[in-house]
Amino acid sequence: MAPDPGCRRVGGIRCRRRLALLLASALALCSGSAVADDEDPRRAQAERLRIEGRCGAALQIAAELRASGVADSELLILEGTCATQQRRYEDAVLALREALRQDPDHPEARLRLAIALYHLGEHDAASRELRIAESQLAGPNAEALLYRGLLHFEDQRHADAARALESARRHDARSVEPVASYYAALAWARSRERARAEAAIARVLAEWPDTAWAAQAQQVRAQLAAERLRRWVLVRAGFEYDDNVVLQGGGAPLPDEITSARDVLGTWSAEAGAELWRGESGSAGVLGSYSGNAHADIDSFDQHYPVLAMWVDRQLDEATTLRLAVDGGHAWVDGESFFATGRTSLSLLHAWESAGASELYLRFRLDEYFENGEDLPDGTGTPGAPCPPPPPGASIPTCGPPGVNERRERNRDGRSAVAGLRHELELPALRSTLRAGYEFERFDASGREYSHVAHSLSGGVLIALPFRFALDVSGVVTWRPFDDPSTFPDPPEPFVDTEFGLDDDDRDERYSAVSISLARPLGRGLTASAGWRRERNHSNVEVFDYRREVLGTYLTWSWGY
């Protein structure tokens, strides 16, 4: 038997078997043919039993009437209608065609034949018979409108289907509900008429509670909610203690205006995102974020950093998505433009059946820094030798090797290419989620100081604890071999009016970080958390060799659907 139109994969719900049973059962309530006027009381009794849905008893009486020599079109219509209600559609078609041979202009026989053919999956034939029945009926008929709507649905004419189904309900709700409203909900959903679909679902739930139809309607409602264009907002604020705000390297002096690298700061961030479009094969949206901080003492490090991003998803199959994202940001430090970046990412995301989810990605980034320091005067070429006399009226605290333009060589503007793989695995038995990743980066800077490659390994675990606490532990290790020796002094604190020397070895760094966070929801989208982070950058250039620890407490509010 061909599928019932409502039993296609509509809104992601597979309902073929259940809805076929429901629709067949509902025919017992939907059929509304008039009781034939006959002298034999058994005929009226059989018709009454059919209307009540007791087709077995009705067919038994019909068999008795046949045995007594009665075989007119009215009796054949009764037999065909009951056979349809019992899902014996071939028998129904035979009985109803015989009735039409006896009375070709009988609209009831024609309508019942159209219904039986529809359930056999012969939709073209059903549509032809229904058109004839509609022309023969004295006026609008709820069942004819119901099946016209179902046939439109089968032909993917969802708006026409919904209108016909709604008309059937308005004409005679008792004979077609909840079938009409349920299928109208499906049709409106396919037509992207979400409000009308919700209204039809609400009718089924209100008027037919605790039924199989209501259960199916709840599933459609849940799927509609899942298919809504997503919107979300996340706001976070907190306080941190940072023991090395300026990332002071070993032996490197602090600027004169900074008396300590330690500070307390307020930190905040906000994020808002929205899907702008969603179709059967993908979606697209925008995301805006902003982060900032304010320091208690070292206010020259106060920063503001807004970012705008756009993405497009392409669904390759049920488990695989291709994502293209473009984002850009601009940072202000101490009220002055400091940094701008733009990035393009291409990601392949795949959800494995029982082995978690993976992301393989490529990213390309352009960075621009608006401050790159100054070029120092050249020395004589002998480290430790006095610097050449300064021009009149100028003072020279120190000087560098001849031929080195520190401003140019320390230019951090550049481009980056990144390839990475991340994987996440849920362990329900342990109430935890594991994650791990590897990333390779090639960064080419305008100045030789910062060009390098990098290899990073990361990992973490999120554990659900008693009393709704969640513990998140993560770490990363990165090795950065640079292309050239550093242009910064070695040692980092040169003598005044003395030429500093440079190391001949290429700059090399190993960075590691560990983070621990403990969070607990407070209700209404609010979550409290506390965290600790330790960073260590091992470098053969002392100015870049630093340690850092950060302690923080935060409140996070989130909203979305």
Compute the average pLDDT of residues 101-117.
Answer: 88
* Helix or strand holding residue 269 (H, E): strand 263-279
Report whether pLDDT(85) > 70: yes
Question: Looking at residue 189, what is its pLDDT?
Answer: 85
How many angstroms separate the CA atoms of 429 and 230, rounded? Answer: 31
Chain-centre distance for alpha carbon 362: 20
How many angstroms separate the CA atoms of 544 and 480, rounded? Answer: 12
Report whether pLDDT(407) > 60: yes
Report whether pLDDT(239) > 50: yes
How many angstroms separate the CA atoms of 422 and 265, rounded? Answer: 32
DSSP string covering 131-178, please?
A: HHHHHHSSS--HHHHHHHHHHHHHTT-HHHHHHHHHHHHHH-HHHHTT
Compute the average pLDDT of residues 78-82.
Answer: 80
Instruction: Tell me how far CA of residue 553 lies from CA of 238, 254, 261, in angstroms.
Output: 5, 28, 20
- pLDDT class for 22, splitting at 50, 70, 90? very low
Question: Looking at residue 112, what is its pLDDT?
Answer: 86
* Cβ(120)–Cβ(2) below 8 Å: yes
Residue 178 preceded by cis peptide, ω within 30: yes
Residue of 423, 424, 421 lying closest to 462 (CA atoms): 424
How many angstroms separate the CA atoms of 158 and 162, rounded? Answer: 6
Q: What mean pLDDT is reported for the chain?
A: 86
For residues 159 and 514, the model is more confident at 514
In the chain, where are the structural domains located? 231-560
Report whether pLDDT(551) > 60: yes
Report whether pLDDT(383) > 80: yes
Amino acid occupying residue 137: L
pLDDT in tens, 460-503: 999 999 999 999 999 999 999 999 999 998 777 777 888 888 88
* Cβ(23)–Cβ(179) below 8 Å: yes
Report whether pLDDT(94) > 50: yes
Query: Strand 398-399 to strand 526-539: parallel, antiparallel, or no bridges (unpaired)?
Result: unpaired
Query: Strand 398-399 to strand 498-499: parallel, antiparallel, or no bridges (unpaired)?
Result: parallel
pLDDT in tens, 349-360: 999 988 899 999
How many angstroms separate the CA atoms of 158 and 385, rounded? Answer: 87
- pLDDT class for 230, splitting at 50, 70, 90? confident
pLDDT in tens, 502-535: 888 999 999 999 999 999 999 889 999 999 999 9
Question: Looking at residue 39, what is its pLDDT?
Answer: 52
Report whether pLDDT(207) > 60: yes
The dihedrals phi and psi of 189, each to the nearest 5 degrees, come to: -60, -40
Burial 357-366, CB ≥16 within 10 A → b, else e: ebbebebebe
Q: What 3-state class would DSSP assign to 104?
A: coil
Compute the average pLDDT of residues 30-36.
Answer: 40
Residue of 297, 294, 301 lying closest to 268 (CA atoms): 294
Please tell me the CATH code under which domain 231-560 is placed: 2.40.160.40
Question: Looking at residue 289, what is its pLDDT?
Answer: 97
Name the H helices within 362-415: 406-409
